[in-house]
Amino acid sequence: MLARRRTFVRVRQARTCSDLVPPEGLPCPGCHRVTITHPVYAGIEEVHCEGCGKVLRRRPALTGEQRAQAQILRWAAHEVETSMTTIRRRKPRGDSLDLVEEGMARVVDQLRGWSRLIHKVPKLRDLGE
């Protein structure tokens, strides 16, 4: 009897909107591991380090609007980071490209910082209130 060989062909999946925005990762100051956060829709969001168990974040759950704003900021940071041509050279070469890359790295850090602090942005009020 002849044995049949199965051939598996990997099929590409269509990218969804959630694939375009990378998940938020929080670095642990103690063990230096990056912990991926999961969205919390009600109550208190508490994130513990996967390595040492240290509390990395404790804040009220974000509203839908705040979650969307944080996701947009993370997407923008990811887009800027993927457009960088040189990532982490040991020695700077001293040309203008190094200055541009350093500025882009600062922009990425600032956008990620804003996405982590979106819950602290004060709400705007109308002048009539």
pLDDT tens digits, residue range 23-47?
788 889 889 898 888 888 888 888 8
Q: Tens of pLDDT along 102-116?
A: 888 899 999 988 888
pLDDT band at 117 (very low <50, low <70, confident <90, very high): confident
| pLDDT value at residue 38 | 84
* Confidence at 14, pLDDT banded by 50, 70, 90: very low
Q: Which residues contact 89 (CB under 8 A, 6 or more apart)?
A: 98
Residue 4 domain flag: no
pLDDT at position 3, please?
62
Does residue 46 form part of some domain? yes
Q: Is residue 49 part of a domain?
A: yes
pLDDT for res 89: 61
pTM, whole model, 2 decimals?
0.62
- 8 Å CB contact between 56 and 45: no
Answer whether residue 37 is part of any domain.
yes
Domain of 34? 17-120
Measured between alpha carbons, how far is 71 from 112 in angstroms, rounded to an integer? 10
The pLDDT mean for the chain works out to: 79
Residue 115 included in any domain: yes
Residue 75 lies in a domain: yes
Q: What is the pLDDT of residues 69-91, one digit of tens each?
A: 888 998 999 888 888 766 666 66
Asked, for residue 79, whether it belongs to a domain, the answer is yes
With beta carbons less than 8 A apart as the criterion, state whether 102 and 95 touch: no
Q: For the chain, how many structural domains are there in total?
A: 1
In a domain, 38, yes or no: yes
Q: Is 46 helix (H, G, I), strand (E, B) or coil?
A: strand
CA contacts within 13 A on the Cβ side of 79: 9
